[in-house]
Structures are given as structure tokens and as C-alpha cells.
Homo-oligomer: A and B are copies of this chain.
């Protein structure tokens, strides 16, 4: 197991449990305790965790936010969804991407789309997600516009009033929303109200709104509402979505793509 994979696993276990012992981690990952100690020391040097005698604890008091670091769940569904979303974008358009694992996959799918390969800015991408901007920045076929703002703690999303100001100055063709819940009556929702506010603004500036959500997100609710279902034009989800669920979305006037 490479060091990258080991570090990733260690951080995952750590945010999940809050604290991790050397021997415990060594047994779990199948490496020696000495290696784990070295890993802990190196991660501690980078302030990714705090060493304790015999183990390590998460840095600071943030016992929350496990999701960003989890190995993406439902990876293959997400990739299929991402591919389908990418195909909804025409060359030359301006597309807005919110943060999240699904939208990150959309960004990657856009990056490998052959018909965008050449031509100067074949696509304009507007995003408040640092990781997406960072991945696409060096590709010559993209023009990347970043909203600015304050990074949400331990996350890659930019939020806050600074971002609002920038978004007010642009319009886009299609907004792709990564959501934590999407329902006909409750609409699309995010975990954080500031995040939801940015996403809402992005929707308002867009001619078309696409929600990318695997089937586990459908029909649920979450704390911060982004927009009502009527604002959404297209939903892309996986084929595990129930027939009844799909029908209700379609009755609400939303085009549903299942992949």
C-alpha cells in the first residue's frame, strides 16, 4: 500500500473515530507500527492531525465533516451521472459548477470530452469549488472563472458575500448543482446555508439548471434549501431511482435522465 493510500486511509479513519492508536492503525492497514508512527509524525507536521502518546487525534475541535475525505461512495454511479451531465453541455457555453464530489466528477468528465479538446476557450467554467478550479486551471480548453469568497472550513467551497458580488456580474448557460437532497416538494438542498445561498445565486444566473444526484439523494430533505423543484430543468440520476420517484419529478415538469 502506497503512502498516499495509507495517509488517505488514516485520515478517513481518524475523522470517523476522532482518535486513532498506533497499533490499531498498524493492524488495520497491515503495516508495522513504526511506519504508522512516521506517518503520524509527517501528517502532524502538516497540521493534518495532532499526535498524542500512542496515537493521534483530529486537529482542533472539528469532529465534523467526514464527507469531504471519504473515498467517494457510489463512485461508479457518480461517474456515469457525471458523464451524462457533461454531455448536456455544448461547446462554447458557460457552465457553472457547485462544489461536491459529484460535480468534481462532472468537471473531470468535461476535461476528457474529446470534442472540447482543442479550440481556444472551448468552454467557460464558473465555480466556487477550489478543487475543481485547481484541476481545470491548467487545461487550455477551459476558461476558468472563480467566484472568490471565503473557503468553508475544511472544505473546498467558497462562500460568503465576496462571492455574491462576483456572481452578480456574470451570467451562465447551464448551472450544475451538486446537492445533498432533492425532492419535488422540498426542492434542492445543501448542508450549509451559506453554501446554499451561493448555489441559489448560481441558479438564478443560469438559463438552464441541472441537478446531478445519485438515487440515494432523491426524496430526502436537508437543512438548507437551494431552490424549489420548479427552478430545475433537468435531473440526472442513476437507474436505481424508483419508477414512482421518477414519475413524480416528471410530472413536476422536470426532465429526468437515468443512467
Q: Which residue of B lies closest to A69 (CB)?
A: B138
Tell yes or no: A252 within 8 A of B by CB.
no
A181 to chain B, nearest CB (A): 24
A-side interface mostly: mixed
Q: Answer whether residue A259 sits at the interface, using C-beta atoms and an 8 A cutoff.
A: no
Give min CB distance, A124 to chain B, whole Å.
9
Q: Is A91 an interface residue (CB 8 A)?
A: no
Q: Among A25-33, A53-61, A183-191, A221-229, which stretch is in contact with chain B?
A: A53-61
Q: Nearest Cβ in chain B — how far from A150, in angstroms? A: 5
CA distance A156 to B138 in the complex (A): 7
Residues on the B chain within 8 Å of A15, using CB: 108, 112
Q: Which of A136-184 contact B (CB under 8 A)?
A: 137-141, 143-151, 153-156, 158, 162-163, 165-166, 169-170
Query: With the chains together, A64 CA to B16 CA distance in Å?
Result: 21
User: Interface residues of A toward B: which range?
Assistant: 35 or more
A45 located at the interface, meaning its Cβ lies under 8 Å from any Cβ of chain B in the complex:
yes
**A59–B141 Cα gap in the complex (Å)?**
9
Interface string of A40-63 (1 = CB under 8 A from B): 001001111010111101111011
Instruction: Give bound CA distance, A39 to B162, whole Å.
Output: 41
Q: A202-224: which residues lie under 8 A (CB-CB) from chain B? A: none
Residues of B within 8 A of A149 (CB): 145-146, 148, 166
Q: Are A66 and B47 in contact (CB under 8 A)?
A: no
Given contacts A7-B64, A64-B3, A130-B130, contact A144 B138 (CB under 8 A): no
Residues of B contacting A146 in the complex (Cβ-Cβ under 8 angstroms): 130, 146, 148-151, 158
